[in-house]
Structure 1
Amino acid sequence: MSSTLPLSPRRLPRGFTLIEMVIAVAMVAILAALALPNYREHVVRSQITEATQALADARAAMEQYYLNQRSYTGGPCATAATIGTFTIACTTVPTAEAYEITATGSQASAGFTFAVDHHGTQRTYALPAGWGNVPSGGYPCWIGSKGQTC
């Protein structure tokens, strides 16, 4: 009889090596570094949309008030409201014939100021750093993304 040595069982690889884990973590970090600024900008743009919609709604309420009272004095924009990260309020006390409503950003939307008046004129009075320079008197529209102009 021949004696045979028992065959050693073949070791199957289990788990990941350290270098594989380091590469995976590095890839996730790179993707996060690219995605996070885009996500933040997207959130700010959605907050801008909420603010401009609130301005349009406030203008409609003021016009409805004018139809009933024949004056803007004492209209609904006399009380400030907070919509998301924006404060919606009249910049001055409405007169019988005129008003201007502004949306001023805070927190993530700090630096933004949008407005609408009794003529329906939309204005951007302020933008945060990196979004562009606002001319004196503001832009004659609502700026909704970086680098946009009217």
Structure 2
Amino acid sequence: MFNFQFNRPSASHPVSHCRSAQFLRGFTLIEMLVATAVVGIIAAMAVPSYQGSVEQLRIGAAQGDLIALSLRFEQFYNQYSEYPELGGQDNIRSLYARWAPASSETQFVFSAASEPQAGYKLVARGVGSLEGCVISLETGNVRSSAGCMQGENGWI
């Protein structure tokens, strides 16, 4: 019914001229180098963008932590009609032992200063790749930042 004939290479037709032999050889060195260069260029464009996005997410997590802390300070104020007295820079965990930041402590260090009647100031300072990024939140929802790349004042 079907008659398949395969041409065997002979002296007059070496393997390199057979159509089926060309498909079995694989990629040439030039093709592999071009493919590797294209992948390298794409990776060189994608990695910095990815790293910037990761840093923005870490900054956003720290901002969320500051908002959560400010809510705790406001709850304290609603209950006792004054803010907790920390007397300058103090470790927040001394006031809220069970508080744990959503952002890693290897990325931001949190501190708080407060006066019972005057208010509070919460600060997150960047560590490592976020060195120089300082985010703060004060009484009355006054937000500021320095050295961070988000929005006009650094807040999302």
TM-score (norm 2): 0.71
Gaps of 5+ in 1: 1-5, 133-138, 145-150
More helix by share: 2
5+ unaligned residues in a row in structure 2: which ranges? Answer: 1-6, 10-14, 94-99
Q: What residue number does 2:92 align with?
A: 79
How far apart are 1:89 and its partner, in Å?
Answer: 1.6
Task: Show the counterpart of 1:136.
Answer: none
Deviations, residues 67-126 of structure 1 (Å, cap 9, x unaligned)? 112211247x85256532112221x3x1112110011111222211011111110011x2
RMSD: 2.6
Percent identical among aligned pairs is 25
| Matching residue of 1:63 | 74
1-structure distance, mates of 2:56, 2:68? 18
Q: How many residues align?
A: 127
Counterpart position of 1:89? 111
- Distance, in Å, in 2 between the alignment partners of 1:71 and 1:86 is 28
Distance 2:85 2:62 in 1: 22
Q: Which has the larger radius of gyration?
A: 2
CA distance in 2, matches of 1:66, 1:23: 65
Q: Distance in 2 between matches of 1:47 and 1:102?
A: 15
Structure with the larger RCO, 1 or 2 (CA within 8 Å, 6+ apart): 2
Q: Deviation per CA, 1:42-70, whole angstroms, max 9, x where unpaired? A: 00000011011111111001000111122
Structure 1 segments (4+ residues) deviating >6 Å: none
Q: What's the TM-score once normalised by structure 1's chain length?
A: 0.73
